[in-house]
Every structure is written in structure tokens, then in C-alpha cells.
Amino acid sequence: MPTVQVKVLFFARARELAGTIQDIYQLEADSEDLIATDLLRSKVIEKVPSLSNLVQTVTLAINEEYVEGNVPLKTGDTVAIIPPISGG
């Protein structure tokens, strides 16, 4: 089974709920499926259940570039979890 190791950075409310600035996630596909951001979102929720409501609404950035959808991940990627920001 393919595996990928990524660094995850938590910002704002996500950092508060996770209780850390960053963490390392080892992701393994259940089959020959693509290892991508949807799998990472699931693993973050497994590890930090308090993020379950927030993780589905966050913006993700991979290696400092914003991404949308289910984007492939590779070993060495840095994924930033950026919650919605409100302001005026």
C-alpha cells in the first residue's frame, strides 16, 4: 500500500482545537486509491475529533499554495489548515 508523510500546520481556531502548531501525519491508502486531501481531512478528524465540524470548512494550502477539491499529496508536502476568517 502506498504511504505518504506530510507536515500539517494548524492556524487560528484549528490551532486552538488541535492544541498544537503542527503535526506529522502518515497517510496510507486502503487500496491503490490516491492519497489526497480528503484522506488527510479524515485522518485529522480521527486524531483530533474536536476539529470534525471545522475541518470540512477550512481552506487548505499545500506548500504555500491554496488548493480546492481533493488534491494529491506526496511525501514532504506541508499542508496548512486555515479556518474561515471573519472581519469587517
How confident is the model over 3-36, as pLDDT tens digits?
999 999 999 999 999 999 999 999 997 766 789 9
Which residue, 6, 8, 11, is CA-closest to 77? Answer: 6
Which strand (E) or helix (H) includes residue 60?
strand 59-62
With pLDDT > 70 as the criterion, what percentage of the chain qualifies?
92
CATH architecture of the domain formed by 3-82: Roll (3.10)
Q: What is the pLDDT of residue 39?
A: 93
The whole-angstrom separation of Cα 65 and Cα 56 is: 18
pLDDT band of residue 56 (cuts 50, 70, 90) is: confident
Residue 85: per-residue pLDDT: 77
